[in-house]
Structure 1
Amino acid sequence: MVKTTADMNALLKDMGTAAKSAAKALRKSSTDAKNEALLAMAEALEENKSFILEENKKDMDHSREAGYQDAMVERLALNEARIDSMKDGLKQMAALADPIAKTQDQWVNKDGLRISKRSVPLGVIGIIYESRPNVTVDATGLCLKAGNSVILRGGKEAVNSNKALVKVLQEGLSKSSIPADSIQLITDPSRELAAEFMKFNEGLDCLIPRGGANLIQSVLKNATVPVIETGTGNCHLYVHEQADFEMAESILVNGKTQRPSVCNALETLLIDRSIAKEALPALTDALVQKGVIIHGDETVCSITDEAVAAEEEDYEKEYLGNEIAVKVVEDYEDAIGHIEKHSSGHSDAIITGSYEHAQNFLNDVDSAAVYVNASTRFTDGAEFGFGGEIGISTQKLHARGPMGLEALTSYKYVVEGMGQTKG
């Protein structure tokens, strides 16, 4: 581990210099060159599955010995299917249009100047993240395709997995014309170095945190580098009085239990009072059969014996596990009021057969993704056709929702003249 502030600054300076040089090369790289690099990295993942899984097992064993929560261990786990998914994601990115190879707009002004608005990379992107090793691959691929170099700082719980993945990705890059320093990994997991990384303005153009609420808040409070906030997911499902009950049950079970450790999983169920006695028992039974603990308000507890009494703070939680908060609301307006107060602005859904209420919900709920009669589990870059995601932004400036290639670009104005001067 790096011992002193001077050592930390020296390490970051070296990494930043290499990243800036790689970013300069990437900015000039052709679409074909970037795509060849992505495919080479995908092939390297396929060829090194055993090595990656061996290193991941070290992290898994350590996490279990350390008593990490099941949700953390699940997010950390790799298997052949997940490596295949990462590999396929890189291939999908290669097939996507290059976000840099385009002019957004062009016009000629009154002085005869041709003005173009052209997409450009952000430059060097820093990413601080926890647990999920797949972020290492997804983030690298997206940054590279958008013409950016990347410096990664994963959590200590995944250090062996991340080191293995970066080693393999760099081996893939070595078979292409893209500089290997386009990907770099901070292997020292100390908080002190992370804090210096958040203030590394001379080396980073942008910083993206991806993880739990504590990590994100730490970055927002301490970073001096421009930050794109990826938010926590207190996602709601509102079962309206005109809902199809079977649809509601299917979407509820999928949203809560298909993969409860991710940010787009459901954390709160709201249901109209007019249908609660009829619909709620089947909904809660379906959750209990999947091992979900239900935190219910007084009405919920009176309808089903399966619930434990909820505290007010339960409606603020991102459980990331087999728990859910359930509340009976008076009507549509009451449900909207609850979501406005408690939602993290990530993903919220309504189940209803009423076109009017569906359209009102889409307008009334100000979250990054809003759903009608569908699971919030679809809030994902790959599902949206982005070939992966760098994270899911809950802020409104620059990027919002699943951040794909376009979110990793900016633009500049190119002005071409024939000797014009301003009078």
Structure 2
Amino acid sequence: MINTDNNTKAKRPARISWIIKPQDMSLTEWQRALRRQVAQEENMECSEPDAEHLPGEYNVTNIAKSQTYKVVYRGEDCSWNYCSCMDFKTSHLGTCKHIERVKIWIEDNHLPLHTELPPYSSVYLSYTDGRQVKIRVGSYCRKEFMALAERYFDEDGVMLPNLLDEFDVMFIDAKKIDPSFRFYQDAIDYIIEQRERKFREEIIKGYTDEKLDTLLATKLFPYQKEGVKFAFRCGRSIIADEMGLGKTVQAIATAEMLRDSSLAENVMVVCPTSLKYQWQREIERFVPGATTIVVEGTPDKRKQQYESSETYKIVSYNCVAKDVKLLEKLHADVLIMDEVQRLKNWKTQISMAARKIQSDYAVILSGTPLENRLEELYTVMEFADSFLLSPFWQFKADCILTDGGGKVIGYQNLNKIGEKVSGRLIRRTKKQVALQMPRRM
């Protein structure tokens, strides 16, 4: 194993601005250059875990964060390059600071560049232009794998719809052809995500208005039933109804619908400190017999509470920030986040900690019209779908107008953004649903 530190005395070029694009660079060139700049400045260590058997595969460790990322680098702009970090998966650039660090490390240490492709075939998730499941046919048993690919992939190697239902059969057939065949985990996760959405679509058909009314100890208004079905169908969604339209009851009903369908067992509610006990009262009111616990107290007490058997665990954003290392090891079936607009700044400790919570399903609640605050919309949407509006640099260029100094002066393409988020975000105003609400006495 080769290892090296990040100490380099080479003279650095002038720093590139994160706010103003250099006139001699395209937007894409600018973003790639920024990532190379970070790679030159941050303290990262590179290593080859097994150059003989895994040529072209590297580990890159961010020393400050004690996080290690897997990198595959097979040459400039190679379509097989990969990094396990989220920036690589969402930027559509084909690179990130970790890949750029590997390139610098190879150059500085005069190491061989492994451009050869592995002989085994594999199914992987491409992030170049949105997420696409694709196949790469290697040299082993090439004829057999080409025939297999024709059944499940188009001429560009992109997954056909039938693979969603026949994934298990395809995987078994591929392993029979060559045991070294690889079906990468992110591709499997993506297929499972699509299959589960189809499954939820079928479940919804059995939930009539009458059955929805059995979920809670109260009847839902028609627009609330619509919101519950929307959130259930999405799996991860944002309900941004105007204040007073009952976002809380919709979130609880969604959680109960997931539990009633045997898709979930436990629920974590994350909310401002001032709302912890209000959430507990609402849950116990709408779901009689539900077991709830408010997570608070000393670190040891909170650890016990996180691990307790109550169905609903209610925790404040401040506790989430304190317990980030503990929460990384836990998993919630359903995550409800209230007043998420408070996390509009992506870089705050609370916002970064909230992103560490792992869950199968999420209902994100916001009381503000996010479509009029695009930076907030992007940040909040990441809790529901990190890929929908990405990459941020392109989103910003297309929709956010700035002056010469980078200050936001306006927005554009709002209708386009509205259409794009409509599959994840639902918002109703009191005026829109007035006829469905009871008249004031």
More helix, by proportion: 1
Q: TM-score under structure 1 normalisation?
A: 0.30
